[in-house]
Amino acid sequence: DGGITQSPKYLFRKEGQNVTLSCEQNLNHDAMYWYRQDPGQGLRLIYYSQIVNDFQKGDIAEGYSVSREKKESFPLTVTSAQKNPTAFYLCASSTSGTGGGSTNEKLFFGSGTQLSVL
Partner 1 sequence: QKEVEQNSGPLSVPEGAIASLNCTYSDRGSQSFFWYRQYSGKSPELIMSIYSNGDKEDGRFTAQLNKASQYVSLLIRDSQPSDSATYLCAVRAGGYNKLIFGAGTRLAVHP
Cβ at position 115, least distance to partner 1 in Å: 14
CA–CA separation, 17 and 80 (whole Å)? 5
- φ/ψ of 32, rounded to 5, equals -135, 155
Among 8, 20, 106, 117, binds partner 1 (CB under 8 A): 106
Q: Is 99 in the site for partner 1 (CB under 8 A)?
A: yes
Site for partner 1 in 23-62 (CB under 8 A): 33, 35, 40-45, 48, 58
Q: Is the Cβ of residue 80 or residue 105 nearer to partner 1 in the bound state?
A: 105
Site size for partner 1 (CB under 8 A) = 26
Residue 32, classified by CB atoms within 10 Å of its CB into exposed (0-12), middle (13-18) or buried (19+), is buried
Residues at the interface with partner 1 (CB under 8 A):
33, 35, 40-45, 48, 58, 88, 90, 97-103, 106-107, 109-112, 114
